[in-house]
């Protein structure tokens, strides 16, 4: 079982680059990059809140749970 980040999919749909998300949310570029490449081990609520606001989505659209 694992949780995967779908930020790269959301960014692709809007044609956003890491720089765009950084400028629009104020999140650190390293945080965005780690989420984009699905390398984060934990995410805080503030980060999720900013991403949900930017992409007008819910947490379930950003994070996906998959059974192995």
CATH code at position 10: 1.10.260.40
Give pTM, 2 decimals. 0.92
Q: What pLDDT, on a 0 to 100 scale, did the predictor assign at position 1?
A: 65
Any idea which residue has 């650190």 for tokens?
A: 28
Any idea which residue has 């950003």 for tokens?
A: 62
By the 10 Å C-beta count (0-12 exposed, 13-18 middle, 19+ buried), 14 is classed as exposed
Q: What is the pLDDT of residues 32-56, one digit of tens each?
A: 999 999 999 999 999 999 999 999 9
**Domains contained in the chain, number:** 1
Range of the domain at 12: 2-66
How would residue 68 be classed by pLDDT, with cut points 50, 70 and 90? confident
Q: What is the mean pLDDT of the chain?
A: 96
Characterize 18-49 residue by residue with b for buried, 16 or more Cβ atoms within 10 angstroms of its Cβ, and e for exposed.
Answer: beebbeebebeeebbebbbeeebeebeeebee
């Amino acid at each position: 079982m694992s949780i995967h980040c779908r930020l790269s999919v959301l960014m692709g749909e809007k044609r956003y680059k890491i720089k765009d998300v950084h400028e629009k949310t104020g999140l650190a570029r390293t945080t965005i990059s780690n989420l984009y490449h699905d390398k984060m081990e934990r995410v805080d609520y503030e980060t999720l809140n900013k991403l949900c606001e930017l992409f007008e989505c819910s947490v379930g659209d950003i994070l996906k749970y998959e059974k192995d």
